Chains A and B, each alone.
Chain A
Amino acid sequence: MLRLENVWKVFDQGTINQKVALKGIDLNIKEGEFVTVIGGNGAGKSTLLNAVAGTWPVTRGRIYIDGKDVTGLPDYKRASLIGRVFQDPMLGTASEMQLEENLALAFRRGKKRGLGWGVTNDERKIFRERLAALGLGLEDRLTAQIGTLSGGQRQAVTLLMASLNAPKLLLLDEHTAALDPATAAKVLEISDSIVSREKLTCLMITHNMTDAINLGNRLIMMNEGNIVVDISGDEKKQLTKNDLLQKFADVAGVQEETDSVLLS
């Protein structure tokens, strides 16, 4: 479903601030795989996700989504294939617009936007059902301004928007990091249920090792722009936090402070 071939990303090339953030990533994610991505600060997790999303062009390499070469496409032209949820709950929704307007914008992702009504009654019916499934009572607040919703509610709405028309790929970029623990747990639960119900292929960055172990069916660990650990299947199911710490220590060559690096 997602294939990266020798993907490099160099920031500020040729300047004193030059930084090689991705060093020839090769990655092949099959349909229906739920991959958690873990790694320290500056490991290249977000860079990987942004490369896939098309935030900027990669320096070298090719990216395929669902067999289609998207290397040359900017983010808005890849949007029909991708649903995204950001770390900042404010980023995923338009605060001054109504809940139903936000959902309708997402519902038309990848379609031509003409002079038809922005929100139709048929869509309202669909939105109400999908909102009810979140269990947050939002189905009765279709015309509420998004800005009046809490951070957790907004993140749940963003998740719904990202998954609304079954994207080929769902990208979650530490989407619970800015929430309080209880809300984060709730949003994570919603993410998990949406991914499994819609059978989505998903790439989720997290700083939380426990989440990385408990969720999904494949785990990759990044370090200094490389994928250093790639675990799936039964091995992933039996994985413990200590295994993970040990693996990180092995590849990174540091024995101390690994915990703090991983959890930072």
Chain B
Amino acid sequence: MSVIDYFYSLDPAKLLKNLPGGIAQGILWGLMALGVYITFRLIKVSDLTVEGSFATGGAVTVVLITGGGPAWLRAIFGASSEQFPTWAALLIAFFVGVLCGLVTGMLHSYLGIPAILAGILTQLALFSVNLHIMDMSSNIPVSVDKYPLYVSGSYVLRSIPVAAVITAAIIGILYWYFGTEQGSAIRSTGNNPVMSSAQGIDIEKMKMIGFAISNGIVALAGGLVAQYQGFADVNMGRGASVIGLAAVIIGDVASRAIFKGHINFAVKMAFVILGGIVYYAVVILVLWMKLNTNDLKLFTALIVALFLGIPYLQSKKRESFASAAKGGSGNAET
């Protein structure tokens, strides 16, 4: 096929048709990225638990919606095995995610395991746990025609506002929480642990709370994504941490390009969601251009590596041995 044939085969109408789906998925994955933002930007550790807790959230949500879960749980919400309320399923997914985060936090704080490794361990363990939750099947479908799902790929235009409202509510809650005494203590722990200890803050406890909230949100997002795609899959979290980072970084770059100086915390979080949307818009574009979808994760990793590397390269450019060898940058007076 010649290049011209290739361009003729691209249908702009199809791109336009697929874009809303990208936006809906972008918002939901952006919500997941908000969880990544809490650990990566506020506590300043890379938490890889999310790869597991995202799938856990999806598994818990779908299992509860389709089967109602154990009898005692149904009794709490007064639900029958056919009708488990969707909100309750998501709420439980959130709290199971919180537990996942606590496990990583305990491995890190009590056993002294580096945060990244602690996350990897929890994530690995969660793979088995998730299979148990899904009764040893790797994939459970949930049909929007049978259950009252909040979001669904079959009803994209209705899903976008629902996803937006849920996400906005979470941003509002996080904005409030991180403005409280406890939230401030979590932020200062990430920013300056020595100073935080000196101010009487139990930094290990604060990190633990941070891990917990982060993974709670990630699991909630997993529950929503599972509804949107119509199934929970034991592998649905693969790459979630990197996609989350991509959204955080795209949001960072975009917000700094638009605003100069101090950026309000709520705006920063909104830009993480925007980062998710941009990421999925690019995904839609890549699919539309008929590139191999199997290469998507390769592109994602490349883009994240590039954006993470740029600040380092910029600082190297200002001060490097290579330029010193050439006689310096020539503005030593300034």
A contacts, CB < 8 Å to B: 53, 75-77, 79-80, 82, 84, 86, 91-97, 101-102, 104-106, 108-111, 113-119, 143, 145, 161
Residues 23-53 of B, flagged 1 when their CB comes within 8 A of A and 0 if not, give 0000000000000000000000000000000
Q: Which of A84, A105, A109: most chain B Cβ within 10 A?
A: A105
A80 touches B200 (CB 8 A): yes
**In terms of DSSP, what is the predominant structure of the interface of chain B?**
helix
- Residues of chain B lying within 8 A (CB to CB) of residue A82: 198
The residues of B with any CB-CB pair to A shorter than 8 Å are 177, 179-185, 187-188, 191-192, 194-203, 262
Given known A91-B195, A96-B191, contact A76–B181 (CB-CB < 8 A)? no
* Minimal Cβ-Cβ distance residue in A for B181: A113
Closest 7 pairs (CB-CB, A-B): A79-B200, A118-B184, A113-B181, A94-B191, A94-B192, A109-B200, A94-B188
Q: Which residues of B contact A77 (CB under 8 A)?
A: 200
Q: Which of B197, B201, B203, B262 contacts A113 (CB 8 A)?
A: B201
B184 touches A101 (CB 8 A): yes
Q: Which of A79, A86, A111, A145 is B262 in contact with, Cβ under 8 Å?
A: A145
Q: List the count of A-B residue pairs having beta carbons below 8 Å apart.
A: 87
> How many angstroms between the C-alpha atoms of A80 and B197 in the bound complex?
11
Complex CA distance for A115 and B185, rounded to whole angstroms: 11
Kindly identify which residue among B181, B194, B198 contacts A114, using a CB–CB cutoff of 8 Å. B181
Contacts A114-B182, A117-B179 given; indicate if A106 touches B194 (C-beta within 8 A).
no
Q: Is the CB of A94 within 8 A of B195?
A: yes
Nearest CB in chain A: distance from B254 CB, A: 19
Is A105 touching B199 in the complex (CB atoms < 8 A)? yes
In the complex the two chains form, is A95's CB within 8 Å of B192's CB? yes
A76 and B201 within 8 A (CB): yes
Question: B42: nearest residue on chain A (CB-CB)?
Answer: A96
Task: List chain A residues, Cβ under 8 A from B183.
Answer: 118
Chain A contacts for B262, CB-based, 8 A: 143, 145
